[in-house]
Structure 1
Amino acid sequence: MPSTDIGSFSWLLQQFQLKPGKPAFVYGLRTILALGVPIAVGIITGYGAASAIAVMAAMFVNMVDVGGAYRQKATAMMAATIGVTVAFLLANLVSSTIWLALPTTFIVIFFAGLAGLFGSVAASVSLVISIMYVVALAKFASFPDLSAVLWQCLLSLAGGIWAMVLSLGLWTIRPYTPVMESVAKCYLSLSKFVELASQRVLNLEDMQNWAQQFLQAQDTVTQDLTDARNNWASVWTRQKTVNLRGNQLLILIEDANQIINSVVAEVELLAIASSSPLFSGLQQEIWQVMAELAIALQTLSAAIVKGRSSVHLGDLDRKIEALEHQWLILRSQVVSRTNDLQIDEYADLVNLRKIATSLTKLTQQLHTDGEIVANLRTGKRHSHICREISPPQPSEGFSWINTLRDNLNFDSVLFRHALRLALITTIAELVASILQFPTGYWVTLTAVVALKPNFGGTTQTTVQRVLGTFIGGIIGITLVVLIKNPVAIAIWILLLMFTAMSVRSLSYSLFTMMQTPVIILLLNVISTGGWQIGVLRIIDTLAGGVLVLLGSYLLFPRWERQQLPTQLEKTIGANLVYFQQVIANYLNSRQDTTDAINKLRHQAAIENVNAEASAQRLFSEPRHVQGEIEPVMTLMIYIRAFFSSVTTLGEHLQEFSGDYQFTELKRLADAIIQVLENLAQALQQQQSPQPLPELDSYLEAIHNEIEQLHTVRISEIATNPHAVTPTLQAVREQTTLSTELERIVNEVKIMHCAIALLQK
């Protein structure tokens, strides 16, 4: 097979590739019930066409089951139920003339496009409302027969309420389940994160590919941690007191945050130690402990979901014992060569000791978390683990009117998107009406579903929708030709919908491919269309895809190149504030700002995720509007590296007494802060950054001091190798600090160079 054919086939398979995760079979089963009951009622009563309205309403409301806390689910599903019914009614009222329908369509779709201003839940609800409006306008308009209109609206309302009952039926019975599931998901993504971190030990060949996967896993676990905090807050911040289970779950959430920080610091230390000849002496043991940590986290995740009363971590304990034993052997071998011991070699030994100690602390933390998980269902109290933790603060309220008013201008990306969406949808409806396309509303639906605020997202969704519709259309045509029995058709509809909903979160292409034959079969139940409906579905979707791509490219584009500097400025600013807080603790070790550091670390991590998403959108845009992307890639890599270095320093604060201080630490810190402030300013003003100050001179002075400490310590080892002296304490504290400061200076220099190239 020619290489071009192989490449095309590989690209096609990639469009149907599943994202990491498990199919949502429970969601699929609930979908079968949500659709199956209205279908069965329609078959039994002989009103199959009428029951299709309830089926569609149930399907749409079921699609906005956003998960999370029950209050959030109930609000979203109730809004969707009312929304799709009102949309159905409105479509009937304006269906009498195209000149009334068109401006109404523009207004409805425009405000639906603005819903993203109020979060992903509002956007999801507005999407299903838009779809119901378009479908009702084309297929179910019965005005001026008022009784028929009211009957159809009642069917829509009944379908939505039925979907709500199925989803929210366990509300009062299991109120904490969503929070527990989100915490379990957080520990599962932590497991995958640690598993990737363990590969850093052995995988030294393809470091670029590993680094990309590791950062993606870090972003995933950061997002899962944010979701877990939000779910916890939605349940308990409305209550006056937090019960024991709520406190236990909050401890698990905050411990997950601590594990993230520890793993980031561990990988940073591994990057430093891996170039040392001594590293091979502990490499295998370190890898085994980290791999076992990943398994232990996975075990904790499963125990949270299944309510196990015990969590066994014996294998992890044995791996830690082996690591500590091997560390003592390695230390003994190095110390026995006191006369030949070099300063660099001793520094490597200190770093390896730091790695082993950190892994031991992680193991101890998992044991504590294991006890909490074991008592999560029973509510049993242990005083040494039920410590007080400051709960996450509820998000401040906002005025939706002010938010809407502030975004009604062309500077708003979502305003441009809403206007573009409304124009394309209205144009599609007008063209379909004038040319009298029998199923022209599918062109309109493609625009509603596929058009995104950015060109890259629009392209990806459009390609996946067209491919999924093409294959699904062929499946639907085959089923229409071969199956005539109403019961068999109903069974196929349920099976296909079960599969579609189960894989919806994993692959939009597969979801579309499974959903398309459902729509074709439903329409054949409502009216006689035959297999031709499948052909028209494919043609209309392709036409809609072309219209969407043209509209996204030509109508009010806001290319990511224009927005990226603002996001990068925010990202550098968040990392700068994080660095300032951490370094302030080194300069004044007596202050306790742990909570402040954790908050700033999380904010910097979120901004790193946002910057990565912005860069990915840039890379998906047309090549001629991207500009020079290499400086952007370099900047992204070293912002993340800077964050890791600062996180390592933040973790090292636990061992820092402050009894010994580098004389040039404050000057170096001030110089780094000055550079980062200037880099953020350069991005804001779109100008070249100022020349770098003399960072190397401050760094050289710190290197000289740490070498002196190592020299003194080597002399102490010769006389009394096991004595704990002030020099030993200073070496343990200052070696990591010195190493990370050197890495930070290098990262800041490269960030400066990247921004200078970006502004040319």
Structure 2
Amino acid sequence: MEKDKKMNNGIKRLVDGITYIWVNVFWKSPNHLWALKVTVSIACLLIPAELIFHNSFIGTTLALGVVAMALGETDVHPVGRIKSAAIALLLFFVASSLVTIFLPHPAWFAVVLAVMSFSLILVGGIDSRLQGVTFGAMLIIVYTMLGADGNNLEWYYQPVLLTIGAFIYSLVSISLLYFRPYRLLQQQLARGFHSLAEYIDLKANLFPSDPQIQVTLRNQLAQKNIELAQQIEACKQDLYSFSGESSQEALQTVNHYYRIWFLLQAMQERAISSHEQYDLLSEQVKNSELLDGFGRLMREIASAAHLYADSLLTDQPYKHPLSLKWTISALQTMLEAEKDEPHWLTLSLLMRNLTGMEINLREEEKTIGQIDVAVFHSRKPERNSLKALLNPTHPRFRFAVRLTLSWLLGYGFMLYLNFGKGSWILMTSLIVFQQTYSATRLRLFHRLFGTLLGVVAGVALTQLLPTVPGHILLMIGSIYLFFYWLKQNYTIAVIFITTFVMGAFDLLANEGIAVIFPRVIDTIVGGVLAYLSVRFIWPNWQYKQLPGLLLNAVVKSRRYFESIYDGAITEEDYLHNRRTAYNADNALTSAWKWMRLEPKNVRRNQDRAFNLTNLNHALLSYISALGVHKSAEDLSEKELDFCRDVSDVLRLVSEMLTRQADEAQIASYLQKANCWDEQMEVMMNDPGNRRVRLIYNIAHVSRELLLEARGIIIDR
């Protein structure tokens, strides 16, 4: 009995240990889980192919089918995943078959390659599902070309193997999704809360504010805000997809995730809001412990947001940290001691904002339960018509033309320079190509640097693992690390896909090291072709985009501002106006970021663009601060009048950006805006104007925008 008891305890400890590893390593980390799915699928195909068929070509071809399907999957709903998998399998077989049939006939193949690449890229622009599927199909084209070099096989051999590999991965992925149908939706929302937590944690460094690091810190915050906004939009698309595929019964569960999405947006508004210029606040507040306390509270809120994200991933109830309430209580006591100081009102509003974030998390069910989401059941993911995409001015059309020409040139290099594995030229062009010059240039650097490091690592590893089991181990380990790092650090991911390729060629023909030099040359050629295509074919310089992006940002910010004080606006309209204002600001910030990587001769109006981008972001931060407190109490009549005056100035700025403004109006509004300082001081003496300081911050930036807009020259 004692022996059985010990055995049972040992088994229980083992099960508990495995469960702990599964939950904390894989279930809490979507990147680890994704890498595990791909690795298991490849291992289940590669190892039996070696043991049963003793044919490395079968194993590696099946593995490449897995990789293509994994890189191309997008849908989060089980039904949607089945639909996209079915489309992908059909496309994979057809694309691979066309390559094997026409590859022996170079002239015909060039035509087929051009038609396939242009068509796939264009169709991929219709919606996110097709974008993933068509990208996987383009990978299959290159993989088939790689496998066809020097192999006299029946035309259907590779298409069948690649499709089987893709099918096996789909089976694994859909099976896991069947048992956890909301898993991928939970992952997207969890990523959003993790991004929010990182933003809050970074912003905590502004309390107190150090002038020496403020510029760097603000740039980092802007980048984090872009990531957060992009993740919120990704959640929106996935929620719309779920709504379209779910039954009436399942919609009740989907509603819960809609509410969590709105909770994320509400906390985003609180996180990016600015109640005062932080450098001025740090100078005014003499009690350094008080400012440190605000920073400490923000870090604890960030930690709580991470915990909330983990609870979404593990399906476990969220446990609110007790330390948060203690920190708030201590900070409120310190704040009360400052009640007679001029900065007290600003700090009290900031405290109310941070306390609101804590309440959002602590009372999440109460917070999200108040939102009516039934109106979103009819929403669908964004789609473009094929007719709209067939317009030469559309970015997707131009992208298709660039990549198609790049592939044709790469194929020409393969033929006339007799490159051994020249298909890698096409692979590099496909991976390096991005919508903009700056993004392509950045991706090219990461690709080249990662490939060189991967070659060094691959040489060492292939020497350490010279046997067949060693090659398989290298491939499996490399593909796991590639997929784990792919969404986190592209350079590191490239290192491991390079070692994977070297392991595969060592397994196929014991020539892993022999392909090093061609691999590097082809990578350089493919990258340069992608770079030159983006640089000289319909170059889309950011200075041409900035005026339109700035106009859109100002218009959307003004609409968001008016939504706060306009009592006739519904909650749904307010949430929409807020989200679109954030997206417009992030588009403007991204354009400025990419402009800095463009050639110097096309960075027109760079300084003014920088000023306007910063002013609009500051404007949005101050509007967000007012929005945070919109439900606390009604604005006074004087505050409402002040808001309307500011809105008129923002309207005038948008008219100036479109050259529709009246010169007399500009002078009149500038004169009026110059009196706002005195107006604010008078209003501050009335206790009923509790939010006049927040409105003044918006007014101050609006006035600066008006001054900057006077010198803007719109390039058409």
TM-score by length of 1: 0.82
CA deviation string 1:62-99 (max 9, x = no partner):
22233744444444443333222211111112123111
Are 2:88 and 2:136, in contact at CA under 8 Å, matched by a contact in 1? yes
Are 1:667 and 1:698, in contact at CA under 8 Å, matched by a contact in 2? no
| Correspondent of 1:389 among 346, 369, 372 | 372
CA deviation string 1:202-254 (max 9, x = no partner):
23222111211222222222222223333333324543356664444333221
Note the C-alpha offset of 1:573. 2.4
Return the alpha-carbon distance in structure 1 between the equivalents of residues 413 and 304 of structure 2: 59
After TM superposition, the structure 1 stretch with the greater mean CA deviation from structure 2, 98-107 or 612-621, is: 612-621
Q: Which runs of 5+ in 2 are unaligned?
A: 1-27
| Correspondent of 1:532 among 490, 502, 514 | 514
| Correspondent of 2:396 among 397, 414, 423 | 414
| Correspondent of 2:420 among 422, 431, 438 | 438
Residues 119-198 of structure 1 mapped to structure 2, 5 A cutoff: 119-140=127-148, 148-198=154-204
Are 2:209 and 2:279, in contact at CA under 8 Å, matched by a contact in 1? no
Structure 2 counterpart of 1:540, one-letter code: D
Per the alignment, residue 218 of structure 1 pairs with: 225
Return the alpha-carbon distance in structure 2 between the equivalents of residues 221 and 167 of structure 1: 26
Per the alignment, residue 262 of structure 1 pairs with: 270
| Correspondent of 2:93 among 85, 89, 103 | 85
Structure 2 counterpart of 1:678, one-letter code: E
Q: Which runs of 5+ in 1 are unaligned?
A: 1-20, 335-344, 373-382, 712-726
CA deviation string 1:242-297 (max 9, x = no partner):
66644443332212211121223355475664442466573233223222222222
| Correspondent of 1:234 among 241, 249, 256 | 241
Note the C-alpha offset of 1:121. 4.6
Are 1:197 and 1:267, in contact at CA under 8 Å, matched by a contact in 2? no
Relative to structure 1, is the Cα distance of residues 513 and 174 closer, same or farther in structure 2, using a 3 angstrom cutoff? same
Q: Report the 3-state secondary structure (helix = DSSP H, G, I; strand = E; otherwise coil) of the residue aligned with 1:24.
A: helix
Per the alignment, residue 554 of structure 1 pairs with: 536
Relative to structure 1, is the Cα distance of residues 265 and 420 closer, same or farther in structure 2, using a 3 angstrom cutoff? closer
Q: How many residues align?
A: 685
Return the alpha-carbon distance in structure 1 between the equivalents of residues 338 and 455 of structure 2: 65
CA RMSD of superposed structures (Å): 3.2
Structure 2 counterpart of 1:159, one-letter code: G
CA deviation string 1:468-507 (max 9, x = no partner):
2223234434555564422221111111111111111122
Per the alignment, residue 661 of structure 1 pairs with: 638
Residues 591-670 of structure 1 mapped to structure 2, 5 A cutoff: 591=568, 593-661=570-638, 665=642, 668-669=645-646
Return the alpha-carbon distance in structure 2 between the equivalents of residues 529 and 349 of structure 1: 72
Relative to structure 1, is the Cα distance of residues 445 and 158 closer, same or farther in structure 2, using a 3 angstrom cutoff? same
CA deviation string 1:9-54 (max 9, x = no partner):
xxxxxxxxxxxx9782222222221211221122122222233322
Note the C-alpha offset of 1:101. 0.7
Return the alpha-carbon distance in structure 1 between the equivalents of residues 45 and 663 of structure 2: 65
Note the C-alpha offset of 1:569. 2.6
Q: Report the 3-state secondary structure (helix = DSSP H, G, I; strand = E; otherwise coil) of the residue aligned with 1:557.
A: coil
CA deviation string 1:146-183 (max 9, x = no partner):
xx323433222211110101111123321122222222
Relative to structure 1, is the Cα distance of residues 569 and 139 closer, same or farther in structure 2, using a 3 angstrom cutoff? same
Are 1:54 and 1:159, in contact at CA under 8 Å, matched by a contact in 2? yes
Are 2:243 and 2:378, in contact at CA under 8 Å, matched by a contact in 1? no
Per the alignment, residue 692 of structure 1 pairs with: 666
Relative to structure 1, is the Cα distance of residues 696 and 164 closer, same or farther in structure 2, using a 3 angstrom cutoff? same
Matched, 1:355 2:329: no
| Correspondent of 2:648 among 661, 668, 671 | 671
Return the alpha-carbon distance in structure 2 between the equivalents of residues 742 and 571 of structure 1: 16
Return the alpha-carbon distance in structure 2 between the equivalents of residues 326 and 120 of structure 1: 51
Per the alignment, residue 7 of structure 1 pairs with: none
Matched, 1:488 2:470: yes
Return the alpha-carbon distance in structure 1 between the equivalents of residues 465 and 353 of structure 2: 64
Residues 251-650 of structure 1 mapped to structure 2, 5 A cutoff: 251-268=259-276, 273-277=281-285, 280=288, 282-309=290-317, 311-331=319-339, 334=340, 346=342, 348-369=343-364, 372=365, 386-391=369-374, 392=376, 394-396=378-380, 403-480=385-462, 483-527=465-509, 529=511, 531-583=513-565, 585=566, 589=567, 591=568, 593-650=570-627
Q: Report the 3-state secondary structure (helix = DSSP H, G, I; strand = E; otherwise coil) of the residue aligned with 1:452.
A: coil
Matched, 1:749 2:706: yes
Note the C-alpha offset of 1:751. 4.0
Structure 1 counterpart of 2:572, one-letter code: D
| Correspondent of 1:112 among 120, 145, 157 | 120
Relative to structure 1, is the Cα distance of residues 749 and 536 closer, same or farther in structure 2, using a 3 angstrom cutoff? same
Per the alignment, residue 694 of structure 2 pairs with: 736
Structure 1 counterpart of 2:699, one-letter code: E
Are 2:74 and 2:81, in contact at CA under 8 Å, matched by a contact in 1? yes
Are 2:553 and 2:584, in contact at CA under 8 Å, matched by a contact in 1? yes
Matched, 1:31 2:38: yes
Q: Report the 3-state secondary structure (helix = DSSP H, G, I; strand = E; otherwise coil) of the residue aligned with 2:666.
A: coil
Identity %: 16
Return the alpha-carbon distance in structure 2 between the equivalents of residues 448 and 162 of structure 1: 25
TM-score by length of 2: 0.87
Q: Report the 3-state secondary structure (helix = DSSP H, G, I; strand = E; otherwise coil) of the residue aligned with 1:202.
A: coil
CA deviation string 1:353-410 (max 9, x = no partner):
22233333333232102xx4xxxxxxxxxx787334235365457775xx33223343
CA deviation string 1:503-548 (max 9, x = no partner):
1112222222211232233234334646322222122222222333
Note the C-alpha offset of 1:325. 1.6
Are 2:237 and 2:381, in contact at CA under 8 Å, matched by a contact in 1? no
Return the alpha-carbon distance in structure 1 between the equivalents of residues 136 and 510 of structure 2: 26
Q: Report the 3-state secondary structure (helix = DSSP H, G, I; strand = E; otherwise coil) of the residue aligned with 2:316.
A: coil
Return the alpha-carbon distance in structure 1 between the equivalents of residues 94 and 195 of structure 2: 40
Relative to structure 1, is the Cα distance of residues 310 and 666 closer, same or farther in structure 2, using a 3 angstrom cutoff? closer
Q: Which has the larger radius of gyration?
A: 1
